[in-house]
């Protein structure tokens, strides 16, 4: 297994890993629009250099990656002006407006925004990252190695701490971050189409001082 910095030729593979690991995606429509999802989750890094991006490669195939951010304001600007408009426009041309899940998402937007305001303060944890690994390489310390690379660079930059989010039902993800020394800070609502019964899904927010 080789861990290295992202190269432009890795773009398609990173997008494939992103989609393959999305909510245990299996092509059944659980993701509102697969291309929109991968655009929103990866293009700020692959196309605009939002922060460090490392890939884990085995036998010439990218098996996972870590995308991190040290400047959340810059990331927000990239998403708002460079990523989201084009991604949403493309999804609309693919029929996004005719998908019931979109209207469930929009109907729950006021409740989502209200719940978001009650989330934990992250002043002491200004950096963040997410790790996505394909099943064959999980549990082999690859995720830990990627995370430690990010934490080391964050420390060298003088940042006080790092936060991550994980879906409440993702017990394996929670154990992974707890093993790395992250502790729960609170929760925030998940911005994804709610189940048909309309109940709100949650992410747990973890932080680690460095």
Per-residue model confidence as pLDDT tens digits over 167-196:
998 999 999 999 999 999 999 999 887 777
* Cα-trace Rg, the chain: 17
Beta-strand relationship, 61-69 and 127-133: antiparallel
pTM for the predicted model, two decimal places: 0.92
**What average pLDDT does range 198-208 have in this prediction?**
90
pLDDT tens string 149-170: 999 999 999 999 999 999 998 9
Looking up residue 136, the CATH number of its domain turns out to be: 3.40.630.30
Q: Give the pLDDT score at 29.
A: 45
Number of structural domains, the chain? 1
Neighbours of 67 (CB within 10 A): 25
Q: Is the per-residue pLDDT at 200 higher than 60?
A: yes
Q: Is the per-residue pLDDT at 24 higher than 80?
A: no
Neighbours of 187 (CB within 10 A): 16
Q: In whole angstroms, what is the distance from residue 72 CA to residue 161 CA?
A: 13
Q: Is the per-residue pLDDT at 26 higher than 60?
A: no
Q: Give the pLDDT score at 25.
A: 41
Greater pLDDT, 69 or 198: 69
Contact indicator for 188, 201 with CB cutoff of 8 Å: no
CA distances 65 to 6, 82, 123, 143, 147, Å, are 9, 22, 26, 8, 10
Parent domain of 202: 2-209
Q: Give the pLDDT score at 28.
A: 42
């Amino acid at each position: 297994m080789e861990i290295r910095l992202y190269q432009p030729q890795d773009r398609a593979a990173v997008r494939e890993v992103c989609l393959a690991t999305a909510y245990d995606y299996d092509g059944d429509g659980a993701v509102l629009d697969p291309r929109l999802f991968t655009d929103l989750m990866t293009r700020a890094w692959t196309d605009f250099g939002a922060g460090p991006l490392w890939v884990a490669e085995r036998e010439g195939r990218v098996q996972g990656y870590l995308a991190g951010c040290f400047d959340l304001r810059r990331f927000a600007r990239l998403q708002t002006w460079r990523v989201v408009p084009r991604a949403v426009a493309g999804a609309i041309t693919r029929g996004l407006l005719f998908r019931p899940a979109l209207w469930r998402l929009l109907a729950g937007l006021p409740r989502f925004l209200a719940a978001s305001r009650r989330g934990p303060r992250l002043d002491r944890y200004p950096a963040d990252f997410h790790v996505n690994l394909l099943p064959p390489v999980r549990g082999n310390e690859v995720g830990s190695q990627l995370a430690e690379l990010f934490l080391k660079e964050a420390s060298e930059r003088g940042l006080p701490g790092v936060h991550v989010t994980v879906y409440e039902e993702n017990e394996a993800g929670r154990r992974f971050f707890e093993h790395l020394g992250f502790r729960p800070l609170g929760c925030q609502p998940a911005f994804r189409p709610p189940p048909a019964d309309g109940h709100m899904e949650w992410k747990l927010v973890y932080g680690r001082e460095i």
